[in-house]
Amino acid sequence: MRAPQLLLLLLAFGRSQAARNTTFPEGFLFGAATAAYQVEGAWNTSGQCLQPLPLWLMLQYRECIAGKGEHIWDRMVHTRPNCIADRTSGDVAADSYHKYKEDVKLLKDVGFNFYRFSISWARILPKGDVSVINKDGIDYYNNLINELLANNIQPVVTMYHWDLPQHLQDLGGLVGSAFGDYFEDYARVLYTNFGDRVKWWLTFNEPGTFVDGYTSHGCVPPAVDAPGVGDYLVAHSILKAHARAYRLYDREFRSEQKGNISIALSAGYGTPKTNSNADIEATETFMQHSLGWFAHPIYSQEGDYPAVMKERVANNSKAEGLFRSRLPEFGEYWVNYIRGTADFFGLNYYSSWVVSHVGSSLDRASRWSDMDVMSSQDPGWTVSVATWLAYTPFGMRGLLSWVSKNYNNTPILITENGWADTGEINDTMRAKYYVNNLAHLLDAIYLDNVTVLGHTAWSIIDNFEWAQGYTQRFGLHHIDFNDPQRPRTPKESARVFAALIKNRKLPENYLDKVIE
């Protein structure tokens, strides 16, 4: 028997079904999420401006310059179509740019308290910097925010969900020396235009995922092959930029706007493969080196990267004959500047991993060889159409407790959680996934004293799943991407959510029996 199964059994006998409280505490918030590139479409509105115009025309139609700019995902889908499983793109996606009112109606019908969406940087600032501000882009997000508030749904806004303006990529991208300046300026534009109504901000979504754009020539832009180097450099730059956006809010906006700011970090929950000390230690290293990488500098008392991470990368770098660690150093100024720059913990949770110790390998340097661990899935788990996503609801409680313990019981908002399939309307597996993830979330609240502010379902609608195109669906509502009207149809999971939000209680029928 594998360790996680044993763990589940122990949990099963450790408490009875009757003891589990399936009622949500007062004030607990329910929301659903999307990201700009995955749903908006309208990739080139006023797009004629992307092409060079004769000078006289440019002078005559200045507003024409202010279309949406191209970003790194636009560039990738158009220049490397083979990267996308079904050779599609987000050019039109769910067409939420035109159908946002319909999307707000879907949120309202399910009963969600908030909508987490992202702003497309290149839609507001076509070149990434503030030299051009696209009024259409500002108008679009103002309309969306106003429509949400008119329906009593709070906007939770992500500033960066992977769609870097191509112009900034050309100027060095996320690791360019001016990136922090550009991000701070962008944040100022957002606070200034939307901060009177937006009270929840997330600076970056899942930096631990998009750093993979710097680990291979694969299909995450900008596809730079520098594992164990580029990913660390990006993370370093992102942590500083995040902190700058937070400090800017403190200095100039917080006293008036009174909002909350954080970052959305993703993590798989690691469980040791065996109960050997080596595997238990490997699991802790895995957690520190994946989630602690971003969380420790922001949320720990002492700040900076986790000690185990600094030590391992430094040792390996030395053994490789390098003159300095591949993990950059912050220095005291930045350690202090970054520490404490979050008002809550934004956490994306989908799935768990079985973790074991590897023992020194001769692999090419990477953050995985630095960790010296292997993560795999238990053969007993049900795996979704997305190979990385297994049905492991116990990890919801495990991860919440890990975060709460490591970071001084900081309040946590689950900023993403969801299940992938191929688009079934009767999506009973998704319903089961949500009900049982929420059951373990409630266990974390009631049994482990974790402060959980709310839960966000990924996603309210089917959307463009990056390199997987439209082959993997996460929506509570189905979209027919072959129909120009992009019709939305509620799935079983939308109905289950509507009932559980209304009753503020989990339904019995989808709840796994803890004792057989």
Ligand X SMILES: *[C@@H]1O[C@H](CO)[C@@H](O)[C@H](O)[C@H]1NC(C)=O
One-letter identity of residue 43: W
206 is catalytic: yes
Helices (H), 152-289: 166-170, 179-194, 207-210, 230-248, 254-257, 277-287
| Nearer residue to ligand X within complex by CB, 90 or 213 | 90
What's the closest the beta carbon of residue 243 comes to ligand X, in angstroms? Answer: 18
How far, in Å, are 46, 103, 124, 357 from residue 500 at the CA level? 43, 20, 37, 41
Q: Kindly write out the interface string for residues 328-367 of this chain, putting x where it contacts ligand X by CB under 6 A and - elsewhere.
A: ---------------xx-----------------------
Write down the catalytic residue from 206, 284, 465, 492.
206
Q: Is the dihedral of CA 150, 153, 157, 162 positive or negative?
A: negative
C-alpha to C-alpha distance for 224 and 164, rounded to whole angstroms: 15
Taking contact as CB under 6 A, which single stretch among the options 21-29, 112-120, 268-276, 325-333 is the one that binds ligand X?
21-29
Among 129, 184, 448, 512, binds ligand X (CB under 6 A): 448
Confirm or reject binding of residue 136 to ligand X (CB under 6 A). Answer: no
416 is catalytic: yes
Measured in residues, the chain has a length of: 516
Confirm or reject binding of residue 71 to ligand X (CB under 6 A). Answer: no
C-alpha to C-alpha distance for 130 and 42, rounded to whole angstroms: 21
What's the closest the beta carbon of residue 407 comes to ligand X, in angstroms? Answer: 13
What's the closest the beta carbon of residue 274 comes to ligand X, in angstroms? Answer: 20
Helices (H), 300-373: 307-319, 331-338, 367-371
Confirm or reject binding of residue 21 to ligand X (CB under 6 A). Answer: yes
One-letter identity of residue 291: L
Among 217, 258, 364, 513, binds ligand X (CB under 6 A): 258
Confirm or reject binding of residue 16 to ligand X (CB under 6 A). Answer: no
Among 88, 260, 436, 459, binds ligand X (CB under 6 A): 260
Confirm or reject binding of residue 257 to ligand X (CB under 6 A). Answer: no
Q: Kindly write out the interface string for residues 400-439 of this chain, putting x where it contacts ligand X by CB under 6 A and - elsewhere.
A: -----------x--------------x-x-----------
Among 7, 11, 12, 47, binds ligand X (CB under 6 A): 47
C-alpha to C-alpha distance for 343 and 261, rounded to whole angstroms: 6
C-alpha to C-alpha distance for 272 and 280, rounded to whole angstroms: 5
Taking contact as CB under 6 A, which single stretch among the options 20-28, 29-37, 205-213, 229-237 is the one that binds ligand X?
20-28
C-alpha to C-alpha distance for 119 and 189, rounded to whole angstroms: 11
What's the closest the beta carbon of residue 307 comes to ligand X, in angstroms? Answer: 9
Among 11, 61, 83, 91, binds ligand X (CB under 6 A): 91
On whether the CB atoms of residues 158 and 117 are closer than 8 A, the answer is yes
Taking contact as CB under 6 A, which single stretch among the options 40-48, 55-63, 228-236, 273-281 is the one that binds ligand X?
40-48
Among 44, 209, 325, 471, binds ligand X (CB under 6 A): 44
Residue 191 exposure: Cα atoms within 13 Å on the Cβ side = 25
Task: Identify how many contiguous H helices and E strands the chain contains and give both numbers.
Answer: 21, 11
Q: Is the dihedral of CA 272, 275, 276, 281 positive or negative?
A: positive
Active site (catalytic) residues: 206, 416
Residues interacting with ligand X, by CB under 6 A?
Answer: 21, 23, 25, 44, 47-48, 91, 199, 258-260, 311-312, 315, 343-344, 411, 426, 428, 448-449
